[in-house]
Amino acid sequence: MKMLEGKVALVTGGGQGVGQGIALALAAEGARVAVAGRTIAALEQTCAQIAQRGGTGLAVTCDVTDPADIERCVAQVVDAFGGLNILVNNAQIIPLGRILEVTDEDFSKGLDSGPMATVRLMRACYPHLKGDGAVVNLASSAAVRWDASGYGHYAATKEAIRALSRGAACEWGPDGIRVNVIAPLALSPGLRGWMDAYPDEAAAFVHSIPLGRVGDCENDIGRTVAFLVSDQARYLTGATIPLDGGQAHWG
């Protein structure tokens, strides 16, 4: 029997990159997976891959900065699949730039799509997760970089997500809900494009990773998430798991 047989998962930002890799890995372990995001064509492409492998996927359009859209998205998933056991908060607008460069508007977008969306989705899913639910939220090693120039606003949004996750893990543990965080380094389309455009810088970047490679979205990141939300990790909650090949120091 697969680890997630009979489970229902919702993955935001599931149309590409890390979100897609997580969705594929959850489906491979038997979960029925709803992928949410703003671009229906990308979501349907992920669902097509799930179907080709014999799984069940559902594409749900959702703007995670819109509270009403979040409520509708969760209701649509529960109506389609009869319940919800797993939530993965992956979607976020990334506010990169130096302190004097990032506008209030761009920072607000990062906050609205990051910690605000995370807590709203957790609240919306809470009634369905009670009893035997699991949440995985995404953080970033940007929060622990010594060379943090250009990452301050982004790191702030991700550290807020970590704080909310720890609070939820403590408050919702008695309700049978586990909440963990991953900080992934993965070969997303954006990172792949940068590496192709700047091969010398990319080589130095990869050299800084003790395991000597950038993580695969499905096989390295997605499979770990599948483990975290399974019964095999039933005593793990409130933790941050660095999935970065050992690159960042989380001491």
pLDDT, average across residues 76-83: 98
238 backbone dihedrals φ, ψ, rounded to 5°:
75, 10
Tens digit of pLDDT for each residue in 164-180?
A: 999 999 999 999 999 99
Residue of 126, 151, 154, 198 marked catalytic:
154
Residue 117 token pair: 């969306």
Neighbouring CB atoms inside 10 A of 135's CB total: 27
Q: In what order do the strands lie in the sheet with 86-89?
A: 57-61, 32-37, 8-12, 86-89, 133-138, 177-184, 240-243
Tens digit of pLDDT for each residue in 88-123?
A: 999 999 999 999 999 999 999 999 999 999 999 999
Indicate the domain borders of the chain. 8-186+216-237
Position 239 pLDDT exceeds 80 = yes
Instruction: Work out the percent of the chain whose per-residue pLDDT is above 70.
Output: 100
Catalytic, 198? Answer no
Question: What secondary structure letter does DSSP report for 114?
Answer: I
pLDDT, average across residues 224-237: 98
Q: Could you tell me which residue, 48 or 249, shows the higher pLDDT?
A: 48
Q: Residue 52 in 3-state DSSP?
A: helix
Q: What's the confidence (pLDDT) of residue 251?
A: 65
For residue 131, give the amino acid letter: G
Judge: domain 8-186+216-237, CATH 3.30.50.10.
Answer: no
DSSP state letters, 194-248: HHHH-HHHHHHHHHTSTTSSPBPIIIIIIHHHHHHTSGGGTT--S-EEEESTT-S
Beta bridge partners of 177: 133
